[in-house]
Amino acid sequence: MDLNLSDEQRLLRESAERFVAESYDADHRRKMANDPLGFSPAVWTQFAELGWLALPIPEQFDGLGGGAVEIGILMEAFGRGLVSEPYVATVVLGAALIDRCGSTAQKQASLPKIADGSLKLALAHSERAARFDLAKVATAANKTAQGWRLAGSKIAVLDGHAADEIIVSAHIHDHRGPSGRIGLFLVPATAPGLSISDYPRLGGGRACNIELPDVHLPEDALLGDGKDALPAIEWAVDRAMAALGAEAVGIMQMLLETTLEYTKIRKQFGRPLSANQVIRHRLADMAMQVDEARSMALRAPLCPPRPAWPHRRIGLNRKERIMDLSFNAEERAFQDEVRGFIAKNLTEEMKRATALTPSVFSDPDIGMAWQRALHRQGWGAPGWPVEYGGPDWTPAQRWIFETESARAGVPNVNVMGVKMVGPVIIGFGSPEQKNFYLPRILSGEDYWCQGYSEPGSGSDLSSLKTRAVRDGDHYIINGTKIWTTHAHHANRMFALVRTSDGPRQQDGISFILIDMKTPGITTRPILTIGGDHEVNQVFFDDVRVPMANRVGEEGKGWTYGKYLLEFERGSGIASAKLREGLKAIADLAESDLTGRAIDSPDIATRISEVEVDIDALEMTELRVLSALQTGQNPGAVSSILKLRNSEIRQAVTRLGADVIGHDALAVEPMRPLYKLNHEPAIPEDMLTVVPEYLNGRAYTIFGGTSEIQRDIIAKMMLGI
């Protein structure tokens, strides 16, 4: 599984974007809008010459044998240019149905003509009385001595006015009456009795309604052998929806770029609109939505067939919505290995403790026991290079591991060592630091906390005041850090401290590794609103730290800190745990404990909406993992991941509080919940719901506030 484009796919994207940019200017689009045909036959011929019409057609029928990803690449470029040519109707729907349902003779007669541009098709399936069910087809095909007689009507036929032949769906009637099968019939656009009334289509191009009061066709007009064509129709519609999704991404990207340029030239109160933070954040949200849509367009070909109608049933059919990543034999074997490892090492105590931990990380006695088991297996640091103890996993293996771990409910290991300070030491540390710290991180011998935020420096971290002054071969550190997760458990801290002053606040910051047992360090607990002791304030009073504990150059800590944050926000797979969290809430909603809250249309719809958001996040994470595999940094996409993870997690926990209803009033002050020595007021399955909801309010603050993430997106992705 590799989500990076191949060289051939990149060339296709570049040629499509170049062609669209050169051929589809505003004048051309205005001309097509007023043209009765709605598109340019000359451009269609160019499509054929470029091989685009042949793209998904099998090679034995003069095609190129491309797939859904290649179609998506083209459609995104078409969206950016608002291309109105009948590509979806002819190639994505028409050619696909003939290839899937047609006889060899029908394929030989039609597919080469589609590839060379001489045959255009349309699919006529929708009917006014059956808009929401593809199986409801009133149009009838009656068997006659000479062939077939069609009677019925169709609506919203995409580009039907321009088609040479129309593929019409109809219920087959033989001499015994209705057969219960849907057939597909090739109907010439000039067939006697066929009438077409076309109209402008929203967004460009045209569509039409078709009347077939008495249309007679030969025997071979029926595609294939007359087997039920409904599965093929559903498959083709899914294929077309995926293509239209990719086209929508291109349209969104074009609108974003157009809006962005306008905000740069349009002035208000003497400044460009793009200088207004509110405008920048809205543009950042637009950029994030485009990126999520791109992830979903890429995901569509990897998903199983259409979810059941209506929308609210997406959440009720969770088992049908698992993405098909087409694992090879080696990846399936690895999946079995992961499941076997978890079954052997995950104790019931660990599993129950994890399920009853409402805070971000498991307590060290649980979390580090799991880390030590991972280390023994060689899996202690999935994102590290193999020379430093990483397992050298592919993106597919990483996804498998994270997903199986989430499904099994493994402990939430403190990531401060493995995912945060570890990559910084690998990237910028001295050989001595690598040799000393990295093995101890892997084994769990060292337990780390992060010293970043201060009482006066949270989102504005570059204004931090904790100072380190040189004294011989030591630094003397004075100041305080706050919201320090698990500082009361940690034996080491990585911290940003000020070692000098300069014109830019960022230039005087250094990255220091601190032994928490050093004299002068005091840790004061902070209880969160959910009742957990997870964070602390740490005070430094003349704390002596060897200069050898500085990572990299003095004054370059800001660079290293940003590098760390990119990996913190962009190297994990949060979607797997979010999905399991949502599953737990959905299971509660379906249980008698909540009076079957799932029967509420509001609850069911919200479950569906959150699941779609998780789908988008998961695909973005997979894209980032594939990029990391080739040596790229997450960059600004890491801010999108952090922002969406935070917002979705809050949506899940908010949904949980609504699902349990009156039971959300109960408070259990004892911690840890898995060591309670009394009977709680509510069922155990509900114990963490409210604490998770309350603690979740901080997700859009810690690790970089959502507002700061939007600033980063605006700056790094949009250049404003």
Q: Which sequence positions are flagged as catalytic?
A: 568
CB atoms within 10 A of CB 246: 27
Using the structure block, give the residue that is written with the tokens 């040519």. 85
| Long-range contacts (CB closer than 8 Å, 24 or more residues apart) made by 174-183 | 174/143, 175/143, 178/140, 180/228, 181/226, 181/227, 181/228, 181/229, 182/135, 182/137, 182/228, 182/229, 182/230, 182/233, 183/141, 183/222, 183/223, 183/226, 183/229
Q: Which helix (H) or strand (E) holds 449?
A: strand 448-451
Go through the chain and tell me how many residues it has.
Answer: 720
CB atoms within 10 A of CB 338: 20
Q: How many angstroms separate the CA atoms of 179 and 181, rounded?
A: 5
SS3 of the chain: helix, strand, coil, percent, to 5:
55, 15, 30
Using the structure block, give the residue that is written with the tokens 């809250």. 597
Q: Is the dihedral angle over the CA atoms 184, 190, 195, 196 positive or is it negative?
A: positive
Nearest to 415 by CA among 376, 378, 455, 374: 374
Using the structure block, give the residue that is written with the tokens 């949060």. 574
Q: Are strands 474-482 and 271-272 parallel, antiparallel or unpaired?
A: unpaired
Contact predicate 169/157, CB 8 Å: no
CB atoms within 10 A of CB 569: 24
Contact predicate 669/533, CB 8 Å: no
Query: At 360, is the secondary structure helix, strand, or coil?
Result: coil
Q: How many angstroms separate the CA atoms of 27 and 202, rounded?
A: 19
CA of 367: how far to CAs of 7, 361, 410, 412, 414, in Å?
42, 8, 9, 6, 7
Q: Which helix (H) or strand (E) holds 525?
A: strand 521-527
Q: How many angstroms separate the CA atoms of 310 and 533, rounded?
A: 43
148 exposed, middle or buried (CB, 10 Å; 0-12, 13-18, 19+)? buried
DSSP 702-718: TTS-HHHHHHHHHHHHH
Chain centroid, CA 272 distance in Å? 33
Alpha helices in 1-150 (DSSP H): 7-23, 26-34, 41-50, 68-81, 87, 96-101, 104-116
Chain centroid, CA 544 distance in Å? 45
